[in-house]
A and B are shown apart, each in its own frame.
Chain A
Amino acid sequence: MLKSYGNAVLRLAYSYLHNMADAEEVLQDALIKFLQTAPILENEKHQKAWLCKVAANLSKDRIKYNALRKTDELSESLAAEKQEDLSEVWEAVKALPVKYREAIYLFYYENYSISEISKITGAKESTVKSNLFRGRKLLKDILEDRYGF
């Protein structure tokens, strides 16, 4: 499972927390929860979505209650590689409020549908649509029209 979904869950957690150590702990806790709960799920897609949902909740709990670590290894790595365009995209995504960022990330990176994002984040479909719309607008303001949406 770590092999199949590790990267996806780690990346999702990182998109919330912007720190590798915090994201790793979320990945670990999500896997522990999976083993302890042994959820009954319909197929592999649901298995991944279940892990993403747990990771999203664990990440949001951390944002609410824990002091997060400041280091953003991804920013540092992109800066070191002099990948200005990628740095620009990451900084723009990172600057979004959490509710917009999670919708943007799950839609554009994970290719989840509105209804799937609604199940993962626990928000209504109408709220997801609106978060996606507002997040996209903010991204366009920051990135202008350099990247198509």
Chain B
Amino acid sequence: MVFSEKLGLVMAHIEVTPEMSRRILDNIQNVSCSPVTKAGNAYRPKMKQFLTLAACLTLIITGGIFMSRQFIEPPPHGYMTPDGHYIAAESAEDLSRIALYQIYDLEGLPFEPENTVYSFHAGISQIWYRSGSQDIIYRKGYGTDDVSGVEDTFTEVKTTDIADLQVTFKGNGENYALATWSDEQFSYSVFASEGLTDTQWQTVISLWE
């Protein structure tokens, strides 16, 4: 028997047991509704504490009120999102009711969306526009941390002022794929799977909210 098969037999001894699974899920549930304090960040503004609490309450309340809502699966192709934990909304207005803060559709998109998916998860609202192979994903969440969920490494980073917003753009090559900015209460991100030109970004962000 070759080495890889032997190693497979060895590692088969390591398994997630039902008890372990229960422990992990219990702990995750506890953590997901505990305020997160970053190391070295002893001061936490009262508003932020309130918003964190509001996010947790929102999760609990919406979980109760919207039990009849379908927990959506990610679209059948393209970008995956954490499975089974999203609350589906029907429109930006509906999403705002679930999130307990206002969120509007993006305007000035470079394509006419064929599909738009509204969802809410862990305090983050997401509007996902798709046309063919192009995706634009808009997110809004509490606090000033990056809510984009984009893990790619980008070679180009620049910060530009657009309509009183300080927007950070990230990308590889000519077109930037990710824009992030924040205000006093919320963080925002727009991810374009195929990147947007400077003019396209300018249009989307200057028409924002």
Residues of A within 8 A of B (CB): 1-2, 6-7, 10-11, 14-15, 20, 23-24, 27-28, 31-32, 34-44, 46-47, 50, 74, 77-78, 83, 85-86, 89-90, 93, 105, 108-109, 139, 143, 147-149
Which single residue of chain B is at the shortest CB-CB distance from A23?
B14
Tell me if B72 is interfacial: C-beta within 8 Å of chain A: no
Which single residue of chain B is at the shortest CB-CB distance from A86?
B10
Which single residue of chain B is at the shortest CB-CB distance from A45?
B80
Which single residue of chain A is at the shortest CB-CB distance from B21?
A2
Residues of B within 8 A of A (CB): 1-4, 6-11, 13-16, 20-21, 23-25, 27-28, 31-32, 36, 78-83, 85, 121-122, 124, 137, 147-151, 191
With A24-B23, A35-B122, A44-B80 in contact, is A14–B14 under 8 Å at CB? yes
Docked-complex contact A38 and B124, CB < 8 angstroms: yes
With A39-B151, A40-B148, A148-B3 in contact, is A2–B78 under 8 Å at CB? no
Docked-complex contact B24 and A31, CB < 8 angstroms: yes
Contacts of B121 on A, CB cut-off 8 Å? 38
By DSSP majority rule, is chain B's interface helix, strand, loop, or mixed?
mixed
Docked-complex contact A149 and B28, CB < 8 angstroms: no
- How far, in whole Å, are A7 and B8 apart by their CA atoms in the complex? 12
Q: List 10 A-B contacts (CB under 8 A).
A: A6-B16, A7-B16, A10-B14, A10-B16, A31-B24, A31-B28, A35-B32, A38-B147, A41-B79, A148-B3
Contacts of B79 on A, CB cut-off 8 Å? 40-42
Which single residue of chain B is at the shortest CB-CB distance from A15?
B11
- How far, in whole Å, are A28 and B21 apart by their CA atoms in the complex? 9
By DSSP majority rule, is chain A's interface helix, strand, loop, or mixed?
helix
Docked-complex contact A77 and B13, CB < 8 angstroms: yes
Docked-complex contact B80 and A28, CB < 8 angstroms: no
Docked-complex contact A1 and B83, CB < 8 angstroms: yes
Docked-complex contact B13 and A74, CB < 8 angstroms: yes
Most chain B CB inside 10 Å of its own CB: which residue of A20, A23, A27, A37: A37
With A2-B21, A147-B2 in contact, is A7–B14 under 8 Å at CB? yes
Docked-complex contact A28 and B27, CB < 8 angstroms: yes
- How far, in whole Å, are A47 and B83 apart by their CA atoms in the complex? 10
Contacts of A20 on B, CB cut-off 8 Å? 14
